[in-house]
A and B are shown apart, each in its own frame.
Chain A
């Protein structure tokens, strides 16, 4: 199984888990708070989805850092809380680069990086209006499409195992809506094969991403919110 199909499988598995547990949660809520009806957004598994504009900064002494200039990007992200502040999520997005030194990289003008990955993280929310989060990629792939100089009729593709580390801050301007600023460090392990002289230049693709976006929050409890509910879930299951 390739890592792409692993990601797809994980996403499907994850979503079915979500729908299953959401079903259970409804029962739990029905039992515990029969009197008060709450809106959809406040029920079920807690999570968020969001979109962000990205500022891309190539870094390091690898080919990306030596030759590329960041041209922006975007990504979509979604996450679900598993237990307390711990969450799991997925991200898809694109980053754009301009090649400023073809003698470093080979002859092409532009690079578009398509990224998709799953991540695990932790969120700390000291006050109602603020949430701090960190996460790291667990499975992911990036596709670097290099567009030939002087036209788009020719191209070349490099693939890489994606590695991302992220820190973010959410500021809540409404109960379910937050503005998000994030910093992501990317250290992708490329699959580029080259001469022994050039190996160290092409083995990694390093850059950082500053994300500016917003998130919508939904749900109330983590998938495993507390031992009492867990017991109920297990009891119901059995």
Chain B
């Protein structure tokens, strides 16, 4: 009985403690150019090629079971040009991460490589736009008489950018790049003012639409031109 249990445990251990092995006899190259919101080169940007492999430790898959493995990395040169040599992994979660750091937006190129090998072992990202991050500081105050109601709607662009490619072709539906985010609010006697900071980027667009006391909707458009963009409004 004891022997049998040991044997079963041993088999389980052998099955689950297996090492992760990346694709044999392959190196891939990722090329591109890092530029800012004005298409000017950004030097010294980190570009990493990753795969997310399912991990098993001992008998159980770990709680945060998947782990990112860096397969290769490099930095862009003074002209923003980068070329990353990396290993390759046939995996459902393979991605290339371009790190804009604290001041700029990031970019993620993700691709299911489980059954896909890039043509000529090359991922060409062309121009990767890393825009300057910006805060939109909204400040809405009431100057009118009590009883006035304001309905407003802010749409702005998210700084996140993940592009999903299927067999080398961009899939817009799966991607999430600078998607429009929205906020709806109603201000009245209970809540007279609104103050909020929204994350976006320089060159991002904002649409602010409002109506006072259920009147006609008024739309105002803005383009963010600095990293701290203030919008003050009173009703």
Contacts and interface: CB of A to CB of B under 8 A. Distances in A.
Interface of A: 102-108, 146, 148-149, 152-159, 190-198, 201-202
B22 interface: yes
Given A107-B73, A193-B121, A156 B29 contact: no
B21 A157 contact: yes
Given A153-B20, A195-B120, A148 B29 contact: no
Contacts of B208: none
B117 to A, nearest CB: 9
Contacts of A159: 24-25
A186 B34 CA distance: 40
Interface in B5-41: 19-29
Given A154-B20, A155-B19, A193 B25 contact: yes
Interface residues of B, number: 27
B86 A192 contact: no
Given A106-B86, A156-B23, A194 B73 contact: no
Contact of A157 (B24, B72, B120): B24
Contacts of B28: 194-195
Chain B interface mostly: strand
Interface of B: 19-29, 53, 55, 69-74, 83-87, 120-122
Contacts of A190: 25
B85 A106 contact: yes
A192 B86 CA distance: 12
A102 B29 contact: no
B69 A193 contact: no
Contacts of A146: 87
Given A106-B27, A195-B29, A202-B27, A156 B87 contact: yes
A195 B122 CA distance: 6
Output the residue of A152, A195, A197 with the most chain B CB within 10 A: A195
A106 B87 contact: yes
Contacts of B20: 148, 153-155
Given A103-B74, A155-B19, A156-B21, A192 B26 contact: yes
B19 A103 contact: no
A153 B16 CA distance: 12
A108 B86 CA distance: 10
Contacts of B26: 192-194
Nearest to B86: A106
Given A108-B87, A153-B55, A202-B27, 8 more contacts: A105-B72, A148-B69, A152-B19, A154-B19, A157-B24, A192-B27, A193-B25, A193-B27
A98 to B, nearest CB: 17
Contacts of B70: 107, 149
A192 B69 CA distance: 21
A198 B122 CA distance: 10
A158 B23 CA distance: 9
Contacts of A104: 85
Contact of B22 (A152, A155, A191, A192): A155
B56 to A, nearest CB: 10
Contacts of B120: 195-196
A195 to B, nearest CB: 4
A108 B25 CA distance: 14
A197 B29 contact: yes
Contacts of B21: 154-157
Nearest to B21: A155
Contacts of A102: 72-73
A154 B20 CA distance: 4
Given A159-B24, A193-B121, A105 B85 contact: yes
Contacts of B73: 102-103, 107
Nearest to B84: A103
